[in-house]
Amino acid sequence: MTKRIAVYPGTFDPLTLGHLDIIRRGAHLADTLVIGVTTNPSKEPMFAVAERLAMVKREVDGIPGNIDVVEFDSLLMDFAEAQGAAMILRGLRAVADFEYEFQMAGMNQQLNDDIETVFLMADVSLQPIASKLVKEIARYGGNIEKFVPPAVAADVKRHLSRG
């Protein structure tokens, strides 16, 4: 029997409760969920890729399902093909997300129409959470514990105290 592999790509800078919600739910949709940790050249990351990779691995430990966490630095469709993926998993929070994701899914379909893009709506309580906003709140001394796991909040605090 062929295994269904899904890829959930992102920068995860930092990993939020919203990301973890999508990971938990996505792990039920596929036989293997591959979390692809990457760098988006248009974003300024707070954490190095190795730090984000370790953060994601730590936080998904114990989530039921077959979950792999890997780094990638290539075109998403090339990465998905290399993983043997049948689908790309994406989370949606708002209409603004949909417009961007709709365009991305269309471009990805043009590159490889054998790999489906599957959208999951974020849990209503988690929809406002965005890594960019979490970092902004933290930089100004705000409490981010409602938005990220406790160990990630500690990682962010430690990172900001160094810099």
What residues act catalytically? 19, 43, 93, 131
**Cα atoms in the Cβ-side hemisphere of radius 13 Å centred on 64:** 3
Kindly list the distances between the CA atom of residue 29 and the CA atoms of 16, 25, 44, 60, 65, in Å, as whole numbers in the listed order.
Answer: 20, 7, 31, 16, 10
Alpha helical stretches, state H, 9-149: 17-26, 49-60, 76-83, 95-111, 131-139
